[in-house]
Structures are given as structure tokens and as C-alpha cells.
């Protein structure tokens, strides 16, 4: 067989050749853009030629601080397409962490959205490697800024070569992208994606039994492009010729619902927080969502009630997927097997609340304290992964040794596995509550609480206990208009759990602190609980 390398540039070439009429619809601050893949391809090529002119060479890092839009998509292909490395930076991180990762990755140029510019101005004195800033704006003039040198994206590419070729000397194991992931303690850790990893991951996304991304899709990933490449969807959707819809900066649930109806979106992807908000909006408004064939949910487990609302109330198919920054990210996809089609709707919901089975191309192992666990839906163990789109280390980071041992990536996620090989995320290893020699899953308690009609959000954390080592405390945000009390919620949980699982207390909050990607920030919540907590007995 030919020694043909799997490269990101060739995915854009495929779209330019076979899907040149298809469109990318992109909402920016100022306006709605529509570009065909022919135009996106030409703009990508222009960008490669001007980046070359700015001194960006093979292996250089190209940083982005941007929302989901067409320019960000163009950098997705231009940077790796010329042999440079795309570094997407989470704009919700603390300034301290943003400084760290730009310096640690050694970004040579930074692409910055207009509304992120003030943040970068504040930290620019600390950036050690950045040689140029490029602001992405629709306005003809450059914004007043002390950043130097500062270019306008559109002015720059206007002078670029629309026929500039994708680099032909790229090897598939060359680095194509970098993304940092938050750590429990210390600075964020960098993960490097190879061309090969991203291309193979796209194949997995396109499989009929995974996301089945196709030319006929209108795809609107809501997951940010700065978070694990928006789960790889911009790459896959381009390669397979899907129409792409980008809801732009600081989108609202109303905009999401409006776009779904207006552009007949067929597939969308995001974290449970987004879907909770969208479900609220869909209930309020009168939207036609009949085009939707799939809502993909990842990042953390969706509560059963949310799945039920989408599946049964709105008639929108809802699919769990599971992954992490270290896994490009797709690892498992939840889809009923053909022989499960006739199970009860209750059993179906239960299945849908699980994270699914491994996508083809990866290997898994689930290891508890006594070695591999039984696949009995009960024994808990940490999920370990192998495969061509699984990281083998963190970028220049001594924490690599702890997470990558004997050829396996240790996810830090505790799961159970049923006979079918379907995994269910039980908890993060560090969030499991160890009480009297038993493990208590904070996630199970949270899901049970969120199934109560009055509960909007719930997060369960451990507090140290002299007798039991740790004990669970539930933190709850009630829906508007409810004044449910602790006793009612405990009574609600009682029939569902062993007595020692029941939280020692329930604290009511206006809001639960979340990470930059919408997950519960348990570290911070534990601090708040410690500060507020007065033992109730």
C-alpha cells in the first residue's frame, strides 16, 4: 500500500473539491457571514501565505483566543496545513493560567477575538514568545490598542495568496494542535494532537454508529472551539461536507433555539449545562426543532430528567458521548444496540443515561483496587485507555508519569461497566467519597437530587469526618418558586440509596461554581462548604 500520510490539509482539499458549494454560516459580534467551502478554502490558503510572511514556520505554535466562528475554523486548517501547530486557548481561564500556557506552549503569534483584546492587553507584558497579534474583527479599522505589532485578520488575508498550497512535507505523526486541560492542583497541562490522531478521530466521528456526521448534516457544535477542538467537529464536518453553523460569541439559549429552527440544524453538541438552558428556552418559546436528529452530550453526565425532556417531551434524540482533552476527545458513544430496541421506555432512558461503548479503534481496561473489575454494572474502577488518538504524555510536564503508565492513559474517571461493555461514569477518582471503607458516588447522588421537581442543580462534595473518614454534603440550587427543605430532599433520596449514602446535610445555594467549560468546580465548592458548614448534628 502507498505510504500516504493522514494530514489535516488534505481534509480541507477534499471539501474544496467535492463540497465547494456547501456553506459555513458564522455569527460574529457584528454580523452573520455565509461562506462556501470554496471561499473558506481560499481564505485558509491566503492565511497560510501571510502567516508564512509573518515568519511562522514548521513546528511554530499559533495561539487562538476566540469563540466559534469561520475565522477560527480557517486557523484550524491553516496552522496545521502549513506544518505549524494550532494552540486553542480557553478564554475563560484565569489571566494567570492564560499567561502560563501561552509561554509554556511558546506561541509565536496570537489570534484574538475583538472582545478578548482587553484581556490580552492586560497580560501582554508577561508574554515571552509572542511576536505578533492578529485581531479578528468585522470593522475596517484596527481597534485602538497598545499591542504591538497588531494586525487585522481581514486586512492581512486580503493580501494573501488564495492558491497557496498546503504543505506537502508533513508526516502524520507531526504535531497539529495543542490544548491545555485544567489540573486538580497546579497549572493546566498541555496535550499535543497529531495529524494522524485528528484524522483517525474524524473517521470515528463519521461512523454510522457514532456521530454519523455526513454531507447532509447541518452541524452546530455549541462546545467551544477552544475546548478539545470543539470535540473535533469542525474538522470532521469540513471533511465530510456538512453545513456548519457557528452561533458566535456569548450566544444565548434563545439564539441557539432560533438558529436550530432557521438553519434546520440536524446535529449539535455540548455540555449538560447548555442543554438544561436550551430545554428551558424550548419550553418557553415555540420553536420548530424537527430537523434535529442528534443532540450530543458530553463533558459530564446528563441527569436522567434532562434526557427524558429531550427524548420524550421534545422528541429530540439525545446521545451521551464520553471523552477528555487527552482523548481528542471521542472515546465512547451511547447508542442502543439493535436487540435493545424493544426494551421499555424506562429501560431505554436508563441506557441513554450511560456513556455508551468504545468507538472502534480504541482499547479500554477498567481497574479497581483489586485489578480489573467485573463487568456487572456494579464494581467500580478507573477507566484506562489506549489508541491512536489517545495522548501519551503532557507537554513538557513531569505530571505525565502519573497519568500515563505502562502504555495506558489513566483517565481519573471511575466507571462501572455492564455485560454489554457499556460504561457509566460514576465519578472522578478525586471526587469519590470514601466513607467507612465504602465508595459513595457523588454523581449518583447529584443525579438523584436533580430528578426532584424542585431542584435545578445539585453538587455533592465530601467533608472530612473523624469517624467515617469522609461524609457527603449536598449543595443544591432550587428552581425559581420552590422552597423545598432539607428533610423533603433527604426523604426523597432515602428509598433510592443505602442509608450510609444519604448526605449528612443539604446546603442551599444561589449558584454552584463551575469550571471554564461548565463543569461543577468541586474544589471551590468544597471551600465554600467548609466556610458555610456548621454540622447539623
Q: Does 57 bind a second copy (CB under 8 A)?
A: no
33 - beta bridge partners? 26
For a second copy, which is the closer residue by CB, 21 or 537? 21
Q: Which stretch binds a second copy (CB under 8 A): 32-40, 115-123, 202-210, 430-438?
A: 202-210
Selecting among 129, 181, 273, 484, the annotated active-site residue is 181
CA distances 530 to 46, 164, 504, 525, Å, are 55, 58, 14, 8
Q: Does 1 bind a second copy (CB under 8 A)?
A: yes
Q: At what angle do helices 37-53 and 8-18 cross, to 10 degrees?
A: 140
* Interface pick for a second copy out of 40, 50, 178, 200 (rule CB under 8 A): 200
- DSSP structure class, residue 356: B
CB 381 within 8 A of CB 366: yes
Q: Which stretch binds a second copy (CB under 8 A): 77-85, 101-109, 235-243, 485-493?
A: 235-243
Q: Does 237 bind a second copy (CB under 8 A)?
A: no
How far apart are alpha carbons 91 and 97 in whole angstroms? 10
For a second copy, which is the closer residue by CB, 282 or 364? 364
Q: Does 143 bind a second copy (CB under 8 A)?
A: no
CB 298 within 8 A of CB 321: yes
Selecting among 23, 74, 106, 326, the annotated active-site residue is 326
Give CA 516 to chain center in angstroms.
11
- Which string of x and - marks every residue 410-449 that binds a second copy (by CB under 8 A)? ----------xx----------------------------
Q: Does 253 bind a second copy (CB under 8 A)?
A: no
Closest by CA to 22, choosing from 47, 41, 3, 46, is: 41
Q: Does 203 bind a second copy (CB under 8 A)?
A: yes
- Which string of x and - marks every residue 149-178 that binds a second copy (by CB under 8 A)? ------------------------x-----
For a second copy, which is the closer residue by CB, 87 or 196? 196
* Interface pick for a second copy out of 240, 310, 468, 520 (rule CB under 8 A): 240
C-alpha cell, 97: 493560567
Is 434 labeled as catalytic in the residue annotation? yes
Q: Closest approach of Cβ 266 to a second copy, in Å?
A: 10
C-alpha cell, 61: 505554535
Is 326 labeled as catalytic in the residue annotation? yes
Q: Which stretch binds a second copy (CB under 8 A): 106-114, 192-200, 224-232, 485-493?
A: 192-200
CB 303 within 8 A of CB 273: no
C-alpha cell, 79: 496552522
**Three-state secondary structure string covering 62-98:** EEEECCCCHHHHHHHHHHHHCCCEEEECCCCCCHHHH
Q: Closest approach of Cβ 373 to a second copy, in Å?
A: 14
Those residues with Cβ within 8 angstroms of residue 230's Cβ, 6 or more apart along the chain or in another chain: 68, 221, 223, 224, 269
Q: Which segments within 293-349 are labelled E, that is strand?
A: 294-297, 318-323, 330-333
C-alpha cell, 487: 428533610
Selecting among 36, 261, 280, 439, the annotated active-site residue is 439
Half-sphere exposure in the Cβ direction for 423 (13 Å, CA): 28
* Interface pick for a second copy out of 250, 338, 467, 534 (rule CB under 8 A): 338
Q: Does 11 bind a second copy (CB under 8 A)?
A: yes
Q: Which stretch binds a second copy (CB under 8 A): 144-152, 269-277, 279-287, 357-365?
A: 357-365
How far apart are alpha carbons 451 and 349 in whole angstroms? 13
**Total Cβ atoms within 10 A of residue 32:** 11
How far apart are alpha carbons 507 and 527 in whole angstroms? 13
Q: Which stretch binds a second copy (CB under 8 A): 132-140, 204-212, 452-460, 461-469?
A: 204-212
* Interface pick for a second copy out of 119, 183, 207, 451 (rule CB under 8 A): 207
C-alpha cell, 531: 466556610
* Interface pick for a second copy out of 407, 496, 535, 536 (rule CB under 8 A): 407
Task: State the number of binding residues for a second copy (CB under 8 A).
Answer: 56
What b/e readout covers 128-149, taking b as 16+ CB neighbours within 10 angstroms? ebbebbbbbbeeeeeeeeebee
For a second copy, which is the closer residue by CB, 357 or 517? 357
For a second copy, which is the closer residue by CB, 207 or 349? 207
Instruction: Report the interface residues with a second copy, using CB under 8 A.
Output: 1-4, 6, 10-11, 13-14, 17-19, 21, 173, 192-194, 196-197, 200, 202-204, 206-209, 212-216, 239-241, 328, 335, 337-339, 357-358, 360-361, 363, 386-392, 407, 409, 420-421
Amino acid at each position: 500500500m502507498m505510504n500516504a500520510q493522514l494530514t489535516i490539509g488534505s481534509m480541507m482539499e477534499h471539501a474544496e473539491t467535492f463540497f465547494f458549494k456547501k456553506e459555513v454560516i458564522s455569527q460574529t459580534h457584528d454580523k452573520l457571514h455565509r461562506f462556501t467551502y470554496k471561499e473558506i478554502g481560499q481564505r485558509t490558503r491566503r492565511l497560510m501565505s501571510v502567516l508564512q510572511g509573518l515568519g511562522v514556520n514548521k513546528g511554530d505554535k499559533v495561539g487562538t483566543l476566540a469563540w466559534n466562528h469561520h475565522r477560527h475554523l480557517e486557523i484550524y486548517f491553516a496552522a496545521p496545513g502549513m506544518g505549524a501547530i494550532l494552540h486553542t486557548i480557553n478564554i475563560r481561564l484565569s489571566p494567570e493560567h492564560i499567561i502560563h500556557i501561552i509561554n509554556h506552549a511558546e506561541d509565536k503569534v496570537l489570534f484574538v477575538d475583538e472582545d478578548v483584546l482587553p484581556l490580552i492587553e492586560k497580560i501582554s507584558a508577561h508574554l515571552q514568545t509572542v511576536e505578533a497579534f492578529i485581531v479578528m474583527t468585522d470593522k475596517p479599522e484596527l481597534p485602538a490598542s497598545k499591542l504591538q505589532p497588531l494586525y487585522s485578520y481581514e486586512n492581512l488575508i486580503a493580501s494573501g495568496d488564495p492558491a497557496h498550497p498546503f504543505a506537502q512535507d508533513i508526516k502524520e505523526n507531526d504535531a497539529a494542535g495543542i490544548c491545555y486541560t485544567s489540573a486538580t492542583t497546579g497549572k493546566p497541562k498541555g496535550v499535543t494532537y497529531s495529524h494522524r490522531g485528528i484524522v483517525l478521530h474524524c473517521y470515528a466521528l463519521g461512523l454510522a454508529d457514532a456521530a454519523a456526521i455526513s454531507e447532509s448534516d447541518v452541524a452546530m457544535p455549541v462546545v467551544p472551539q477552544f475546548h478539545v477542538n470543539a470535540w473535533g467537529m469542525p474538522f470532521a464536518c469540513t471533511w465530510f461536507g456538512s453545513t456548519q453553523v457557528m452561533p458566535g460569541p456569548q450566544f444565548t439559549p434563545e439564539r441557539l433555539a432560533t438558529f436550530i429552527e432557521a438553519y434546520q440544524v440536524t446535529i449539535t453538541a455540548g455540555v449538560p449545562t447548555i442543554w438544561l438552558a436550551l430545554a428551558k428556552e424550548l419550553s418557553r418559546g415555540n420553536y420548530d426543532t424537527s430537523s434535529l436528529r442528534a443532540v450530543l452530550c458530553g463533558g459530564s453526565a446528563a441527569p436522567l430528567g434532562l434526557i427524558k425532556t429531550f427524548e420524550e417531551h421534545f422528541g429530540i434524540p439525545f446521545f451521551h458521548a464520553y471523552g477528555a482533552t487527552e482523548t481528542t476527545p471521542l472515546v465512547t458513544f451511547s447508542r442502543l444496540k439493535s436487540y435493545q430496541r424493544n426494551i421499555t421506555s424506562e429501560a431505554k432512558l436508563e441506557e441513554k443515561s450511560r456513556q455508551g461503548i468504545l468507538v472502534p479503534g480504541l482499547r479500554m481496561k477498567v481497574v479497581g483496587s483489586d485489578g480489573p473489575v467485573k463487568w456487572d454494572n456494579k464494581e467500580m474502577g478507573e477507566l484506562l485507555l489506549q489508541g491512536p488518538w489517545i495522548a501519551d504524555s503532557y507537554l513538557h510536564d513531569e505530571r505525565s508519569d502519573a497519568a500515563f503508565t505502562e502504555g495506558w492513559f489513566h483517565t481519573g474517571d471511575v466507571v462501572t461497566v455492564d455485560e454489554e461493555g457499556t460504561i457509566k461514569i460514576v465519578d472522578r477518582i478525586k471526587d469519590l467519597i470514601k466513607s467507612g471503607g465504602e465508595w459513595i458516588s457523588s454523581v449518583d447522588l447529584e443525579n438523584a437530587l436533580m430528578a426532584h421537581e424542585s431542584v435545578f442543580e445539585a453538587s455533592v462534595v465530601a467533608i472530612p469526618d473523624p469517624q467515617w473518614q469522609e461524609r457527603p454534603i449536598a449543595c443544591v440550587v432550587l428552581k425559581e418558586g420552590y422552597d423545598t427543605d432539607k428533610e423533603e430532599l433527604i426523604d426523597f433520596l432515602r428509598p433510592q440509596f443505602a442509608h450510609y449514602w444519604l448526605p449528612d446535610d443539604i446546603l442551599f445555594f444561589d449558584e454552584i461554581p463551575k469550571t471554564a467549560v461548565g463543569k461543577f468546580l468541586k474544589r471551590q465548592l468544597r471551600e465554600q462548604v467548609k466556610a458555610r458548614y456548621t454540622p447539623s448534628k
